[in-house]
Amino acid sequence: MTRVQRVAILGAESSGKSTLAAALASHYQTVWVPEYLREFVETQNRVPYEGDQFPIARTQREREDAAAQLATRFLFCDTTPMMTAIYSGVYWGRVDAQLAALDSVHNYACTLVTSAEGPWIPDGLQRESEEVRQSVHAKVLSTLDERGIAFTLVSGSLPQRMLQADRVLNTPQRDLIRSA
């Protein structure tokens, strides 16, 4: 039996994570895990408070674990607890211990980062500004570098991003890709 490989798709707001995750899942005929934060904002009709951060990240990981049971070959994860921790740092200047512990487990076979090159599009309560998007994008890259996590920056149109991701996902050098 082949183990499912989890693929983290990280990036700042309005950078195309959800679009890429859905497209990759369709291409590989598997499932993807939507970003729980979007559902949280819609159902609560508000942005999260600091105390919501860990439960949001925990729910994201729980949904990921459940989806892994349905996935074939790859499971595409539209965000991870790392993004929740990064946003906690941006908005509150700190990351609580529970969230930090959850964030410290980055057990993804591959990490894709969506570039923040396209137009910033407001999305109700969830998105802040182009300035925040660029700041978060830089923080994602620096966090991955600091933690020694290999990643591929995908850019351009959706077809270009798909080709870049496909190359990484199908590389014969599996040292960048480990089973989750």
Helix (H, G, I), strand (E, B) or coil at 121: coil
* Structural domain total, the chain: 1
Average pLDDT of the chain, as a whole number: 88
Neighbours of 133 (CB within 10 A): 18
- Main-chain dihedrals φ then ψ at residue 7, nearest 5 degrees: -115, 115
For the chain, percent of residues with pLDDT exceeding 70: 88
Across the range 1-15, mean pLDDT stands at 86
pLDDT digit string (tens) for 162-177? Answer: 999 999 998 865 444 4
Which one has a higher pLDDT value, 179 or 143?
A: 143
Across the range 66-78, mean pLDDT stands at 95
Domain residue limits at 23? 5-176
pLDDT at 135: 87
Local confidence band at 123 (pLDDT 50, 70, 90 cut-offs)? low
- Main-chain dihedrals φ then ψ at residue 32, nearest 5 degrees: -135, 160
CATH code for position 161: 3.40.50.300
pLDDT digit string (tens) for 21-59? Answer: 999 999 999 999 999 998 998 899 888 999 999 999 999
Distance (Å) of CA 141 to CA 43, 67, 83, 101, 150: 31, 27, 11, 20, 10
- From the list 15, 4, 1, the residue with the least C-alpha distance to 112 is 15
